[in-house]
Amino acid sequence: MDWKPVQKPAELAESRLLEAILDARFPINSTLPGERELAELIGVTRPTLREAMQRLARDGWLDIQQGKATRVRDYWREGSLSVLSVLAQYPGNQTLDLAIHLLELRLLIAPVYARQAVRNSPEQIITLLESYSSLADDPAVFAQADWDLHLLLTRCSSNPIFQLLLNGFQNLYFLVGEQYFSNPGNRQHSSGFYRELLGCARRRDDQEAEVLTRRVMEESLGLAAKIHTEVP
Is-contact 210 109, C-beta < 8 A?
A: no
Q: CA angle at residue 170 from 169 to 175, to 5 degrees?
A: 95
Question: How much of the chain, in percent, has pLDDT values that exceed 90?
Answer: 64
Residue 168 has pLDDT above 80, yes or no: no
Condensed to tens digits (0 to 9), the pLDDT of residues 29-75 reads 999 999 999 999 999 999 999 999 999 998 889 999 988 999 999 98
* Selected residue with higher pLDDT from 117 and 15: 117
The predicted model gives 145-166 an average pLDDT of: 94
Sign of the CA dihedral with 4 first, then 80, 115, and 121 last: negative
Q: Which residues of 7-21 are buried (b: 16+ CB within 10 A; e: fewer)?
A: eebbebbbbbbbebb
Task: Please give the torsion angle defined by the CA atoms of residues 87, 90, 91 and 93, in that order, rounded to the nearest 10 degrees.
Answer: -90
Is-contact 221 101, C-beta < 8 A?
A: no
**Domains of the chain, CATH where assigned:** 9-79 (1.10.10.10), 84-230 (1.20.120.530)
Residue 199 has pLDDT above 50, yes or no: yes
The predicted model gives 5-17 an average pLDDT of: 83
